[in-house]
Structure 1
């Protein structure tokens, strides 16, 4: 063997065996002192960050996110909103015109860095919109720790998207993504996506936060309040003693979270209850006729946490807060910022279930949402549909909780504006296309896997994935590894079609021939995505007989499903457009037959899947 050939083999062998590199995870500890000027909607901040580099790489720079720099005219968020017009995020524009462009100078968001030091030495830094690049005095070597200190001041922006002052329900301050926040570093490098309005990513960290604010404010936050007896709202025995400046200090602690978020208002009420075998729940909101459903929602929220604990995995943290503050709803570590007013109890609970469900996906699993928003939003939506179906059962009993999502997807596909789910979150050209690619197709990704492998197997996949990867930033590759190992199936083809393309599923019953005591059926694949096919016969005496037609690419067939026992037929090669088989039923015995009686298959034209035999 030639020396050149040996080198080529070793090179490609390294690529194959080390595609993702060894697993590691960065970690940080934040200690902050924050002094809020509530009257002027500003604050001064100091923080010490102890950063541990667990990677095998020597780091010569570090990056921070300065999210609030986006909330001003001319920012990249403003430019993107103007460029997309009516195709963009409706919350950032009115009539296709960016509302960021009209933010008054006094209400522009700003995070002004005074200085940053590494182990006491001043560092050079460069502000690039919402990203701060810091050149280190001393590289942070692998498996070592470095300490950064910094001071800054900030202007709380007009609330247009998630964070800011004086939201539409009258909350004074919603403080989300509000501090200079370390970017994540992993095998893919620094996660330094500009903030255009969508998702976030960060390393896990511990937080010790002291917030000094006027004594008449109440704070709701994602963390543990260490001095409830010294502040307003949390203890009937509190003794609120303000200093000469009429301020008190709130002391918060949170462990192993992606971020720390809080909101402050003078009219907040704080209510608590504890989930059986679960976390302590805090409701922090303005109590009024407009928020009357909060009290009624408590048993539903308790049931929600119990269902998530049993169906996916136990909630990791000691508490969870639902805080009135924000535009719509947004999840953060141990807290949801949400609108408090709702038209119905079901609307309010639906918002709590969805945003609370992110605690398992966005926070505990901690996917990189900027790169794979379909994992966070889609997996959350999957459990959202399942649990809301249990909490608010439809008037007409229906075993499939995903029918609404499937029908919405079918109607959307007809518009011809679909974009692949694999696209980066902020880089979609149409806001509606982003929502369907991320929320709906992400949800239906799991629905289709349940159809392919069986619901019980999918449940085992999800639990195993959660147990293996909680608090570890998994990727879709990690999920597929677990899914294939648990199911025994090859599923790479499905992820490719469903996530990387906009091809669709479209099967049909092409022909039915009766011959004495048998019936021969020909099915046709009219779509771009091959799938296994569940086929059923409804007999004249109202019995359902099920058949499974495996797809050859899975190589292993599902052995059971909750929708009934079945007979497995020969596999259907993905290259073959038609498939013919014979069943031992005469025309006189059959009432109807067709594809997917369970109605889980995301077939874009289900009308040709069924035939009634007359």
Structure 2
């Protein structure tokens, strides 16, 4: 091969598209004028969207989400619910029959696009279920912006999932994912998954939203209300300003969030309080005996934001709103829509913690929920349970905050229904399997990681992840990079087993032989996921002696853990089924011995992990 050709060959392959380039993220600015016909549950919308292409790619097509098009008989969401039957999301069905199939025609969701223009030029568009494909009049070049204008009208759907009219607690309008929202574009291309009922993804954006609605309504939203003195509910001295239709205009702004959600009802009460060194919190709800726990929840919410700031990183926005609405709890930019009629204070607070926790692990660290739901649901569940354990200590002492999640995961593995956490959010065939994969295995990913690297290292990794990736769109690869860099360990094997497979951990104490000067212990790996092992002895005088058996694939061993000092033994090759070692204690010196006294290890058969010397 000639020298010149060789150089050209090397240059081509050194810039192969398989090699990920520099990080970038897109940005959008929305200006909306919304006119609501509350009696008919419809609205007219006008929107100016300035879209900035920070990618190295020239964009000739853009895509928008039209989520409300899913709320009708025969939609893809309806088809999916019908095909899943009783194995699907219970909120979308009744006795195994899709609730979407029986939506009256006048209550079907609709987002009817009248026209869309780019820099004043009319554009061709095609509606594909909940996705609108738009062919551009002129390409958006790298590092440049363009302006879209559009008009549309919408029918607020019957409340079935997250958005809609007249939810089961009597809230008139739950307005989430309610406007034509431009899709995210990144290294993996356009994020244009059809809406089937699960998760969302979007670029960061600024919002200016003016909502024109009957003057008797009160609105709760994620953002800053710019004219509280002109509308009802926020300012006791307000003089409501109306137009000739007897409507008031609510002026909301928000900066650098993923979406803007709101809800409206005539019977809302607005309350607020400020977290010390934190945001101003708004409660927007129907105040009654059914929602009495809201008042009692306030000190817990204050502590929650303070603990999240200290544990993971500071909340970035000036406000946060808990708004009664929706069909359970769902996070949006600076707000959650949440059911208000709780059965207990702990139940309400737990739901509030989970949804507000998504501000860290979905909004500020804006992973793609549709493709990797375990990253946001799992990490949020980890934070929720950690703080709930502190503020609502269990009546029966537990070894750690994740005991219940661990037990639920272990029990589910025995059903044979488990599916890998790597699956796309809407593509799990069983609703229970989706929950285990996304919430529980995502949470236990961190618990197992803490077991492998040590809890202090895990805490530092989570803080570093937030610092590096707040207000960005990281992936699990980015998290793993930080974990490996911080610890020096190779952790790719763990990520692969835990996220990409349904293989399980199952270790056992196979044999104990007591000698005159020492004891010989043989452990067995009966499972299909290799792990390093923490092994402990409870001596007859009630002391705990700890040993750590590294697993060779990590290459670097755990140095310390909060569960006590330990002696490090020779590593256990992951291909080796059994491991034998000696400890300098005799039978009369040992009260009990076993694997993982901390009870963090997700061993699916923990019964054979311990031996009590009776």
With the length of structure 2 as denominator, give the TM-score of the two structures.
Answer: 0.99
In 2, Cα distance between equivalents of 1:133 and 1:460: 43
Q: Distance in 2 between matches of 1:9 and 1:565?
A: 51
* Contact 2:399–2:599 (8 Å) recurs in 1: no
Distance 1:236 1:166, change over 3 A: same
Give the match's secondary structure for 1:369. Answer: coil
Deviation of residue 535 (structure 1)?
0.1
Q: Which residue of 2 aligns with 1:391?
A: 391
Question: Counterpart of 1:213 in 2: which secondary structure?
Answer: strand
Residue 141 in 1 paired to residue 135 in 2? no
Query: What residue number does 1:281 align with?
Result: 281
Equivalences, count = 613
SS at 1:29 equivalent:
strand
Question: Which stretches in structure 1 are left out of the alignment for 5+ residues?
Answer: none
2:339 maps to what in 1? 339
How much has 1:162 moved relative to structure 2?
0.1
The answer as to 2:417 corresponding to 1:417 is yes
The 5 A counterparts of 1:182-581 are: 182-581=182-581
**Is 1:89–2:85 an aligned residue pair?**
no
CA distance in 2 between partners of 1:280 and 1:520 (Å)? 60
Give, in whole Å, the separation in 2 of the partners of 1:515 and 1:39.
Answer: 84
Which residue number in structure 2 is paired with residue 129 of structure 1? 129
Give the CA deviation at 1:487: 1.3
Deviation, 1:600, is 0.1
Hey, what's the Cα distance between the residues in 1 that align with 2:571 and 2:120?
Answer: 67
Separation in structure 2 between the aligned mates of residue 119 and residue 130 of structure 1, nearest angstrom: 25
SS in 1 for 2:513: strand
User: Could you tell me how far apart the structure 1 residues matched to 2:159 and 2:597 are?
Assistant: 47
Aligned CA distance change for structure 1 residues 446 and 15 (closer, same or farther; 3 Å):
farther
- Alignment correspondent of 2:29: 29
Can you list the C-alpha shifts for 1:210-233, whole angstroms capped at 9, x where unaligned? 000000000000000000000000
Q: Measure, in 2, the Cα distance between the counterparts of 1:515 and 1:7.
A: 70
Aligned-partner SS, 2:358:
helix
Q: Summarize the Cα distance change of 1:7–1:530 in structure 2 as closer, same or farther, 3 Å threshold.
A: farther
CA distance in 2, matches of 1:234, 1:464: 38
User: How far 1:398 sits from its partner (Å)?
Assistant: 2.9
2:600 aligned residue: 600
Residues of 2 paired with 1:573 and 1:539: CA distance?
A: 29
In the TM superposition, what whole-angstrom CA distance separates every residue of 1:15-46 from its partner, at most 9, and x where no partner exists?
A: 59x63221000000000000000000000000
Query: Structure 1: how far apart are the matches of 2:384 and 2:508?
Result: 31
CA distance in 2, matches of 1:52, 1:14: 25
Give deviations 1:37-84, integer Å, cap 9, x for gaps: 000000000000000000000000000000000000000000011111
3-state SS of the aligned residue for 1:326? coil
CA distance in 2, matches of 1:194, 1:21: 27
Judging changes above 3 Å, is the alpha-carbon distance between structure 1 residues 15 and 451 closer, same or farther for their aligned structure 2 residues?
farther
Give the distance between the partners of 1:71 and 1:316, measured in 2 at CA.
34
Change (3 A) 1:563 1:121: same
In 2: Cα distance, 1:8 partner to 1:611 partner? 63
Deviations 1:319-364 (A, max 9, x none): 0000000001000000010000011100000000000100101110
Deviations 1:345-386 (A, max 9, x none): 000000000001001011100100000000000000001110
Deviation per CA, 1:510-568: give whole Å up to 9, x if none: 01111111001000011000000000000000000000000100011111101000000
Q: Any idea what the Cα deviations from partners look like across 1:82-102, whole Å, max 9, x if unmatched? A: 111111111111111100000
C-alpha displacement at 1:583, in angstroms?
Answer: 0.4
Q: Once structures 1 and 2 are overlaid, which stretch shifts more, 396-405 or 64-73?
A: 396-405
For residues 261 and 401 of structure 2, the distance between their equivalents in structure 1, rounded to whole angstroms, comes to 33
Aligned mates of 2:8, 2:423 — CA distance in 1:
35
Q: In structure 2, what is the Cα distance between the partners aligned to 1:319 and 1:399?
A: 35
CA distance in 2, matches of 1:515, 1:275: 61
How much does 1:14 deviate? 3.8
User: What is the CA-CA distance between 1:410 and the residue it aligns to?
Assistant: 0.6
Q: CA deviation at 1:397?
A: 3.2
2: distance between equivalents of 1:11 and 1:507?
A: 49
How many Å apart are 1:12 and its aligned residue? Answer: 5.1
Instruction: After TM superposition, give the deviation of residue 241 of structure 1 in Å.
Output: 2.4
In the aligned structure 1, how far is the partner of 2:38 from the partner of 2:577?
A: 67
How far is 1:396 from its partner? Answer: 3.1
Following superposition, the deviation at residue 177 of structure 1 comes to 0.1
C-alpha RMSD of the superposition: 1.1
Q: Distance in 2 between matches of 1:265 and 1:531?
A: 53
Partner of 2:178: 178
1:81 partner SS: helix
SS of the aligned residue for 1:40 comes to: coil
Deviation at 1:6, TM superposition (A): 6.4
| Structure 2 portions without partners, runs of 5+ | none
